[in-house]
Amino acid sequence: MKPISARLLHANSTNSGQLGQSSEGTSKLFVYGTLLLDDVISTLIDRIPHREDATLPGWWVARLPHKVYPGLVPGQGETRGKVFTDLTGAEWAILDAFEDPAYALTAVRVMLPVETEAFAYRWDGKYVNQGWSITDFSRDELADYLDRCRRWRRLYEQRSQ
């Protein structure tokens, strides 16, 4: 996986999900799955970033085979989520390192309520044709997932020294 700075140069500015030219000028990140949860994001970057409610048309949040976290895939309808508006370069690097290699950072157009550009981690792997539920995840998987996030963050810090 390329580091965030290199990957940003290849993200486009449409909902097409295709890689293209740079989308300079935006540092917003649209989140739709586990990163919506304060416990998860604060475990990873040591704070809860400023965020705004957002809607992403033309995408949906799918269950992934053998994974507890979801993937964002093109499709009918819209996805509700949040946009982080104040991530630092170091925080982008942490999130980029954390995300599964099957995600591709993609520029998308979100409604905040006005349309604006943000990046999102799009899933490029196989998925189940069924929606993912943050309620079910929080009830059934969150405690174990937070333990995994804590272990991952410790390893990340050790490797970064």
pLDDT digits (tens, 9 = 90+) for 68-119: 999 999 999 999 999 999 999 999 999 999 999 999 999 999 999 899 999 9
The residue assigned the tokens 């739709």 is: 32
Among 8-12, 31-35, 145-149, which stretch is predicted with the lowest mean pLDDT? Answer: 8-12
Domain CATH for 8: 3.10.490.10
Range list of β-strands (E), 5-161:
29-31, 51-63, 71-84, 103-111, 115-123, 128-131
One of 78, 99, 117, 141 is an active-site residue; which one? 99
pLDDT at position 26, please? 62
Would you say 80 and 23 are in contact if contact means Cβ atoms under 8 Å apart? Answer: no
Would you say 127 and 72 are in contact if contact means Cβ atoms under 8 Å apart? Answer: no
pLDDT digits (tens, 9 = 90+) for 35-68: 999 999 999 999 999 999 999 999 999 999 999 9
> Is 78 noted as a catalytic residue in this protein?
no
CB atoms within 10 A of CB 157: 10
Q: What is the pTM of this model?
A: 0.84
Domain that holds residue 119: 4-160
pLDDT at position 160, please? 87
pLDDT at position 101, please? 94
Number of domains in the chain: 1
